[in-house]
Amino acid sequence: MRMKKFISFLMCSVLLIAAVSCDKEDPYKLYDVKVKLQYSDPGFSPIAGVSVIAVNINTGMYYVGTTDDAGIAIVPVVAGLYEFSATETRAMDATAFSFNGFKQQVAITHDYEKEPFVVDIAMVGSEAKQVIIKELYSGGCQKDDGSGHFQNDKYVVLYNNSPVDADLKNLCFAMTIQYNSHATNADVIDGKLTYENEGVVLAGNGYWTWAEGHAPVLKPGEEVVVAINGAINHTLTYGLSVDLSKGDYYAMYDPESGYNQAASYPTPSEAIPTSHYLKAYKYGRGTGWPLSVTGPAFFIFMTPDGVTPQSFFEDTSNENYYNNISAMVRKWVPAEWVVDAMEVFSAGYVGKNNKRLITAVDGGSVVLTHRQGHSIYRNVNKEATEAIPENKGKLVYGYALGTSDLEEGSTDPSDIDAEASIKMGARIVFMDTNNSGNDFHQRKEAALRSK
């Protein structure tokens, strides 16, 4: 009797749950969202075959569609809040052009079928540049004694991605304020940067450039390592760190500028010539150049004829304050001055990271898990690299230092191990679509550790 009562109760419960469930929408139902890529640059029209990616900002799941001849893609997604992006590269008159488009905070509800709409993405064009950021290592690593992390070993590698020599005169290194991607960003209103359409990026706190008369000239495939902090051999103390003491490296070191914090700026290794010391132009507060450890927006720019890094510094009319906070000074840098840029998002903040670079400069983002010795490394342009006849037999495949096995990790889809191939004498052509999502991946280990 007791068992009968129990079974009856169980059945009623199941029916009740089923009845209630019938009223709810299926959370896994896919809606075919129509996305249209809009090209405003004269002479460019939509093409077929461009991938459109929709990332659910709550779950991190992503969905892909492909455009037709009219630039329209159907992306099947479940209901949710999305970031849509698209990127493509095309050659025209022997010049590579990249187009990037990005749209944040797009809500797809269960009513989409009843009230469908088209997601328009403005595609912004940009030319590929000679010099690119090959690698940025800013996240630090774990200390040997388990007492925490070490982060004064940041470096950046610039690379001549073109077939002709690249003169880096007047090239400057800069970063944005807001410093951290996951922090609340006063520049973002309704999911959009307030300066998105103003054709500028913002160089926060200060910028660095080469010592007068000592800018390097890079041959095709040549690179230059710049220590952002501590141009010394950190591996003697921190086994998981890097050796930044080598004589051909450059160092951001200019204590007279006001960037003189002892922990961040020990004197560079005596092996590094003083002509390799970079000059800082500081207009913000503090004693260190505060490149984000968690998620920087880093860029290099080159002042045009008639403007020098010095004259750009002296001009106070280009100053601006983040959120009107007087301590957070930044300078407007015209987007056309930008040589390369990278937008790094902090891992663990899906849906909370904010872009700080305008689409014309960088249309995507790459995720970094900091404090683990990971770096952000450039992806190889497989097609272009394999097309160089001299590379035959020198390319090493089976790249194993990607981090796609880690949460929010990524890898180089080309499968080419760039560093191993360079050692074999290959000239690598890296991706340069001005979209960090396409161009970079998170490398398990900073490349300088194996040099």
- Site residues (vs another protein, CB under 8 A): 143-148, 150, 152-153, 230-234, 236-238, 241, 245, 255-260, 262-263, 266-274, 279-282, 285-287, 310, 313-316, 319-321, 323-327
For another protein, which is the closer residue by CB, 241 or 436? Answer: 241
For another protein, which is the closer residue by CB, 23 or 314? Answer: 314
- Contact between 165 and 221 under an 8 Å Cβ cutoff? The reply is no
Structure tokens at 255: 């204590």
State the Cα–Cα distance between residues 270 and 253, nearest whole angstrom: 13
Q: How far is the CB of 201 from another protein (least distance, A)?
A: 18
For another protein, which is the closer residue by CB, 84 or 322? Answer: 322
Helix (H) or strand (E) holding 33: strand 31-39
- Contact between 258 and 290 under an 8 Å Cβ cutoff? The reply is no
State the Cα–Cα distance between residues 227 and 288, nearest whole angstrom: 14
State the Cα–Cα distance between residues 116 and 120, nearest whole angstrom: 13
State the Cα–Cα distance between residues 191 and 169, nearest whole angstrom: 37
One-letter amino acid of 236: L
Q: How far is the CB of 150 from another protein (least distance, A)?
A: 7
Q: How far is the CB of 145 from another protein (least distance, A)?
A: 6
Q: How far is the CB of 369 from another protein (least distance, A)?
A: 21
- Contact between 83 and 102 under an 8 Å Cβ cutoff? The reply is yes
CB < 8 Å & 24+ apart, contacts of 448-451: 448/137, 448/155, 448/157, 448/225, 448/242, 448/243, 448/244, 449/242, 449/373, 450/419, 451/419
Give phi and psi for 157, each to the nearest 5.
-120, 125
Q: How far is the CB of 194 from another protein (least distance, A)?
A: 15
State the Cα–Cα distance between residues 442 and 374, nearest whole angstrom: 6
Per-residue CA distances from 243 to 51, 232, 235, 266, 441 (Å): 40, 6, 6, 14, 22
3-class DSSP state of 293: coil
Burial class (CB in 10 A: 0-12, 13-18, 19+), 285: middle
Max Cα separation, the chain? Answer: 97
Q: How far is the CB of 182 from another protein (least distance, A)?
A: 20
Identify the CA nearest to 43 among candidates 93, 86, 101, 100: 93
For another protein, which is the closer residue by CB, 45 or 147? Answer: 147
Q: How far is the CB of 237 from another protein (least distance, A)?
A: 4
- Contact between 213 and 237 under an 8 Å Cβ cutoff? The reply is no
- Residue burial 83-110, b: 16+ Cβ < 10 Å; e: rest: bbbbbbbeeeeeebbbbbbbbbebebee
Q: How far is the CB of 44 from another protein (least distance, A)?
A: 36
The residue with tokens 């000074």 is: 329
For another protein, which is the closer residue by CB, 10 or 325? Answer: 325
For another protein, which is the closer residue by CB, 110 or 285? Answer: 285
State the Cα–Cα distance between residues 73 and 6, nearest whole angstrom: 53
Q: How far is the CB of 152 from another protein (least distance, A)?
A: 8
For another protein, which is the closer residue by CB, 61 or 271? Answer: 271
State the Cα–Cα distance between residues 350 and 31, nearest whole angstrom: 22
Residue 202's DSSP bridge partners are 332
For another protein, which is the closer residue by CB, 117 or 321? Answer: 321
For another protein, which is the closer residue by CB, 285 or 352? Answer: 285
For another protein, which is the closer residue by CB, 136 or 278? Answer: 278
Q: How far is the CB of 256 from another protein (least distance, A)?
A: 6
- Contact between 331 and 309 under an 8 Å Cβ cutoff? The reply is no
For another protein, which is the closer residue by CB, 158 or 329? Answer: 329
For another protein, which is the closer residue by CB, 173 or 313? Answer: 313
Q: How far is the CB of 396 from another protein (least distance, A)?
A: 31
Q: How far is the CB of 235 from another protein (least distance, A)?
A: 8
3-class DSSP state of 80: strand
